[in-house]
A and B are shown apart, each in its own frame.
Chain A
Amino acid sequence: MTNTQIRHGLRTGLIAGFVLVFLAITGFAFTLATSLSNSLLGFLPSAERGYQGMMLLLLILGIWHGTRAATRIGPDTWMGAVLSGLVAGLVSGLALAIFAILVGRQVEAGVNLRRYLVALSPTAVDLLLLGRSAVSGAVMLLGIVTAATVLGAVLNRALGREALPRARAALGSGVSSVSASMSDKPVVRYITYFLVLALLVWVPTVLNQSLNYTLGTVAIYVLLGLGLNIVVGLAGLLDLGYVAFFAVGAYTVALLTAPDPHGVQANFWIILPLAVAFAALAGVLLGVPVLRLRGDYLAIVTLGFGEIIRVLAGSDALTGFTGGPMGVNSVPLPRFFGQPLGPQHFVYLLIVGVALVIFVTARLQNSRVGRAWIAMREDETVAQAMGINTLRYKLLAFGIGAAFAGMGGALFAARNQFTNPQDHVLLVSINVLAVVIVGGMGSIPGVILGAFVLKGIPELLREFENYRIILFGGLLVLMMILRPEGLIPSRRRKLEMHESEEEAKEEIPPDPSVGGEVFA
């Protein structure tokens, strides 16, 4: 019995040790520690604050790790909890300590580690070693991590080992009941709409310029997210070249309103619908050949198209037409009754755009078209057998999604007053995908929340700027494993994603070695 606990402790300890070293080697730990110390430990003298922040970080991570180490496995005794906590803490602490000694010794010998590992500057290593020499710092780290892990394990035992899962379940049901009450009662719904609207009118007036800019970025990502939501969330077509339509919209506005490569200098308000129409047309034209493909092949083809468009837009061969690698500069701000729209007023324009798109999406979702999309997503063959012209509905989804992206791109180019190929890299598509997936595929409030979480919060936490993209990547994997239906799932999606689990609970325990048929 203690054997299993030791083994479990060893396992979690190894994983945690790896995570700790990873956090240190990528420099994330130092950024976290600094921001912790600045935000929470303001009362301490500033010279000591950094080290205290590092300790606090290790303490938090250790306690969390301890609660994980002591859950589930083995009999529920104090002895067992402390034992697995101790083993886990020692193993993870040892991993960090060894790393710290290795690094610390190098720095003491005057080696410039930054040549190979850019995050390990001398100050960062000093922070890691808590201002001590390599050996004593490492021993101290080992002590802190082990103590925190044991503390976490004991805490877990004291609260009852089921406390965490129970709390999580309670939280989940709370969220879902709130969202259920929102959608079920029309009166509540209209009041919320009104409040949100009032808030949206009021908020931009109190925010400063940079916050308004951030809000604008979030709004553009809501636009893009809602468009991709139709393609991925409703119609079930994974489009990795979504940025191509964004580029079409942005370049249409930039080329036709800017003085530079062509000198058309048309009015923004005329070009905006044109940009949307062009993007939709591009979506349909691209869709005709590729939409016969299924699933992952479609994803790769669209990715290829996106890259082709980006490379072409930035190539020297087309410099005369698209501005080449430099892109198009000096795009004029749109004018409203003769006045150019400032950052604050542009936010209103974006909000109007978002509201329009939300309205269209909501109406489509519950219409015959939306149901046809969902049917197609669930099972294309069956949908076809039920008389749905799948190609046509796919084209419609692609076209509407592309139109939204074109609108986003048009507003983006007009707001930034320039656009170049760097604005249209694959990463934009991936960002939008992350917004849709984190928020909840097929769910409008989900996409809005996703845009705020993934684009809004990182803009506010500037010190974590460097770690934003890795966060996207990690979140995509984590969400797929833990909560594929997203933060605010659409009801149908939630049922679908947990269908197999429900079945497994009711019927036989699943055999992990079987299950390949689902892929076919």
Chain B
Amino acid sequence: MEQSAAPRTSLPFSIAWLIRIVLWIGLTLIAIGPAINFVRAATTPAQLVVHLITGLIILGGVYAEIWIATQPGLRNAYQLFQRVLFIQFIAFVILRIFTVLAVEQAYGPEIWMRFAISGLIIGSVYALIAIGYTLVYGILFMINFAHGDVMMIGAFAGYFIFEGLGGWILDPAAELSFLNAYPILSIILAFAGGMLTSMMVGIALERIAYRPLRAAPRLVPLISAIGASIFLEETARLMFGSQTRPYQNPDLLTRGKGIDIVINQAPVRITYTGIFVLILAMVLLAGLYFLVQRTKLGRAMRAVAQDKKTAALMGVDVDQVISRTFAISGLLAGAAGVMWGIHNGQVDFFMGFVPGIKAFTSAVLGGIGNLPGAMVGALLLGVTESVGPAGLGLDFQLKDVIGFSILVLMLIFRPTGLLGEALSEEKV
């Protein structure tokens, strides 16, 4: 259909070179003035090196692109183009990091440490959410777009439990509420409430929005999931309002308090909430890993993920396993929601969206369908995102852009993830 009857007319060798040389010379003539100005703008020798390399990356890339574009009859010109752009991009990133670290030296080691710690904590929360995406994707090959909102519902449940317990004054004289009289019990209650609520939402989601569509073409459940996501967000907005609500922690976990470590004669604070979140997340992840690898349910899940039909023939109740998968991912998302609230101190109806996308990015980063991959990916993403804006010398507003860019680049260049092939090309 595509190929015309006549053979592909390619430019004669010499004409291609002619065009190429004309373009190269033209580019050089245009670029030479600004390039000289740019190099002369450097004041220190280090800056001079940086400016020279920057110029080389830009000009070299464009020269290469001209060469590709004038290559007659090149079949995979798109891919070559992409590769050059990618190399240019990576070179810029490396150069930028080098500039910030070695030339500008804007931040000392204690600042990097702070970023890394906060990234690790956020990453561990992402990990809990990412597990939900990966489990569901591994079994149903669908992106549970509403998963971030399941987390939001869990955060709200925890919020209401803390509010309720905080308002339950046991000793009016000392203004001692149940929340502070029995902090550990309160935290357990909040987590239980958040996790169970999210679990129920997850199960209901699967029953109502996904199960009837299991045999439909692939885009259909995704659209349904988007609808469900909007529905959950708006339900929360209509019920609880659109304002941001402060999370009431027990005094034991006051935000901002923590242990100070001295690095480079400056304190680096590791907050109690951070430690708590990190440890709890690790415990939950270990528990999940045990569940998937060692229990009967886990074996059934793995069997269903591999082959639904055969699993059904082997006596696995596929519907039940899928339902329980959603329950487990809901439990973890609920825990993540309460942790998010405790650590960041705020809940609102839209809070699930960005962490949801980030967690999905983590799942993709580690190789979707791959459990340890999701955990590694999440920690990596958390740290990258936290260190990234400073490392690239960008505005901190652009933190989300780094996360989204990683998502886009990963999906374009390595959709199977860092930890190898969890899925074949066909499924991606």
Query: Which A residues form the contact surface with B (CB < 8 A)?
Result: 22, 25-28, 116-119, 232, 236, 238, 240, 288-290, 292-297, 299-301, 303-305, 307-308, 311-312, 315-317, 368, 372, 386-389, 391-392, 430, 433-434, 437, 466-467, 469-470, 472-478, 480-481, 484, 496-497, 500, 510-520
Contact = CB atoms under 8 A, between A and B. Distances in A.
Contact of B230 (A304, A472, A478, A518): A472
Contacts of A496: 217
Given A311-B401, A389-B2, A481-B224, 16 more contacts: A22-B235, A116-B163, A117-B239, A119-B239, A232-B219, A295-B218, A299-B143, A300-B357, A305-B408, A391-B78, A433-B223, A477-B224, A480-B209, A513-B318, A514-B309, A516-B141
12 contacts: A238-B222, A289-B82, A293-B411, A295-B222, A296-B218, A296-B222, A304-B408, A307-B404, A473-B229, A513-B319, A516-B214, A518-B215
Interface in B147-167: 160, 163
Contacts of B309: 514, 516-517
Contact of A316 (B3, B81, B223, B397): B397
A472 B312 contact: no
B2 A392 contact: yes
A316 B239 CA distance: 34
A290 B413 CA distance: 9
B141 to A, nearest CB: 4
Nearest to B423: A520
A476 B1 contact: no
> Main SS of chain A's interface residues?
helix
A386 B220 CA distance: 26
Contacts of A497: 216-217
B240 interface: yes
A109 B234 CA distance: 29
Contacts of B294: none
B260 interface: no
Interface in B383-428: 394-395, 397-398, 400-401, 404-405, 407-408, 411-412, 415, 426-428
A287 to B, nearest CB: 10
B228 interface: yes
Interface in B1-24: 1-3
Contacts of A513: 308, 312, 317-319
Contacts of A303: 357
B238 interface: yes
A315 B141 CA distance: 35
B115 interface: no
A519 B216 CA distance: 8
Contacts of B334: none
Contacts of B231: 470, 473-474, 477
> Main SS of chain B's interface residues?
helix
B287 interface: no
Interface of B: 1-3, 78, 81-82, 140-143, 160, 163, 208-209, 212-224, 226-235, 238-241, 304, 307-309, 312, 317-319, 357, 360, 364, 394-395, 397-398, 400-401, 404-405, 407-408, 411-412, 415, 426-428
A483 to B, nearest CB: 11
Nearest to A119: B238
B239 A308 contact: no
Contact of B407 (A289, A300, A386, A484): A300
A315 B395 contact: yes
B428 A293 contact: yes
B339 to A, nearest CB: 22
A311 B223 contact: no
Contacts of B239: 25-26, 117-119
A301 B411 contact: yes
A294 B423 CA distance: 13
A365 to B, nearest CB: 17
A307 B403 CA distance: 11
Instruction: Sort A-B residue pairs by CB-CB distance and give the 5 closest, nearest first.
Output: A476-B227, A473-B230, A516-B308, A473-B231, A470-B234
Contacts of B427: 520
Contacts of B224: 476-477, 480-481
Contact of B401 (A308, A481, A515, A517): A308
A238 B2 contact: no
B364 to A, nearest CB: 8
A260 B173 CA distance: 61
A450 B277 CA distance: 46
Contact of A300 (B78, B218, B360, B398): B360
A477 B408 contact: no
B227 A388 contact: no
B222 to A, nearest CB: 5
A490 to B, nearest CB: 15
A445 B78 CA distance: 37
A290 B217 CA distance: 21
Given A295-B219, A295-B222, A500-B215, A117 B308 contact: no
A470 to B, nearest CB: 4
B44 to A, nearest CB: 25
Contacts of B233: 473
A28 B308 CA distance: 41
B426 A520 contact: yes
A304 B404 contact: yes
A288 B215 contact: no
B24 to A, nearest CB: 23
B100 to A, nearest CB: 16
A116 B240 CA distance: 6
A116 B160 contact: yes
Contact of A519 (B141, B228, B241, B408): B141
Nearest to B86: A289
Contacts of A312: 398, 401
B235 A26 contact: yes
A475 B395 contact: no
